[in-house]
Amino acid sequence: MNRVMRRYGLSCCIVAVCLMAADGADVAAPEGQAAARPEMDFTDRDYGGAFAKDPDVVKFGGRYLLYYSTRLADRRFAVGIAESRDLVAWTKVGEVRPDARYDRRGLAAPAALVHEGRVHLFYQTYGQGRLDAICHAVSEDGVRFERNPTNPIFRPMGDWNAGRAIDAEVFLDGETALLYCATRDPDMKRQMLVVATAPTAAGFVRESWTQRCDAAILAPELPWETACVEAPAVLKRDGRFYMFYAGGYNNNPQQIGVAVSDDGLSWKRVSDQPLLPNGLPESWNHSESGHPGVFTDDDGAQYLFFQGNDDNGATWYLSKMRLRWRDGLPYLVRPGDGHEFHLSLP
C-alpha cells in the first residue's frame, strides 16, 4: 500500500477508495474477470482491431465532434471523426485521409478549434522522421476539410532540435495564436516541446508563424517522463495558462502531467508526479494513460480526454474524465464512482 501511495501521490483513504472502485480507470479486476471498462470507451474498428488515439473534442453545429488518429487498412495513419450528443456514446462520421503530396505517407494527432464559424484542424504528417511537420485544414461542417495551400505550416528551427514537428496544439489568446508542438533532439532520442505564435487574423498560413523559443519550453526531466514530453493540451484560467502534457513514450508507460505559465511561453511543472497515472495491473489502461485533450463545454464544464490500453499498444481506446479546480489547481473526477485524481505537491 505504501508503494502505491508514493506512486500516485494519494492519501491512505483515497487509495482505499481507488482500489475498491467499480468503474475503474486504474482498478485491477478480480482474478478471472475482465477489467472494468470506463464510461466513455471509444475505439475505431473500421479496419480490423481496435485503434483510436490522440483525442481532441470541439462543439460545433449542435453536436460534439471528436477528432482522433486511426489506422487505415494499408497501415497508414489518418484522422477519424466521430460525433456525439452526450460526450459518452460516439458514432464515426468521417475521415481526413492522407491524400496530399506532403502527407501521403500518413497524417495523425489532430488538434481542433472553432474559430469564426468554422472548424480548424491542425495535424502532423506521419512517417517522414525528421521531415514530419504541422499542417492545417479548415471545414464549414466539421467533417469535410480543405487543406491550407501553404502546408506544411510549421517546423522548428535551431541546432538544438531535429527539425521535426508533431502533436500540434493551437490556443487562441485574443489576437494571438499560440502553436505548441513536440520535436526531438538532433539524435532523435528525446522528445520535447516548442512554441510559435502568429496573428490570429493571418489565417494560420506558414509565413505567419514565428518560433518563440531557442530551447525546449518543456523537456523530459522527471523519472516518470523517461525520454519524452509530448502532446500538449492548453487552456487558460484566471489569467494563467495550464498545459496538460504526456510524459513517457507510448506504453513506457505514458502518463499525464501539468505545467503552468503566466505568458504562454515560459512553463514550469506544477508537480513532480503525474496528475493521471497509468492504471494498475489488469485495468483497461494499465499500459498507459496518454495524449491528453482538454475541452470546455458551453456551460463551463471541462473534460480531459485521453488514450489508453492494457496490451502494450495492440489496441487503443479513448476515454475522458471531468476536469475540476480547487485552490487554483486542476484535479480529475472519474465517472461512475467519483474517484478524484489530484496532483502531489512538494
The terminus-to-terminus CA distance of the chain in angstroms comes to 20
Which is the CATH superfamily of the domain at 2-342? Answer: Glycosyl hydrolase domain; family 43 (2.115.10.20)
Residue 136's pLDDT is 98
What residues pair up with 182 in beta bridges, in sequence order?
166, 193
14 backbone dihedrals φ, ψ, rounded to 5°: -70, -40
Place of cell 480490423: 48
3-state secondary structure (DSSP) of residue 241: strand
Is the pLDDT score of 64 beyond 80?
yes
Cell representation of residue 163:
527539425
Residue 36's pLDDT is 82
pLDDT, tens only, 157-216: 999 999 999 999 999 999 999 999 999 999 999 999 999 999 999 999 999 999 999 999
Long-range contacts: 127-134, Cβ < 8 Å, 24+?
A: 127/76, 127/77, 129/164, 129/188, 130/162, 130/163, 130/164, 130/188, 131/163, 131/164, 132/164, 132/165, 132/166, 133/102, 133/164, 133/165, 134/165, 134/166, 134/168, 134/179, 134/181
pLDDT, tens only, 225-246: 999 999 999 999 999 999 999 9
H or E element at residue 57: strand 53-60
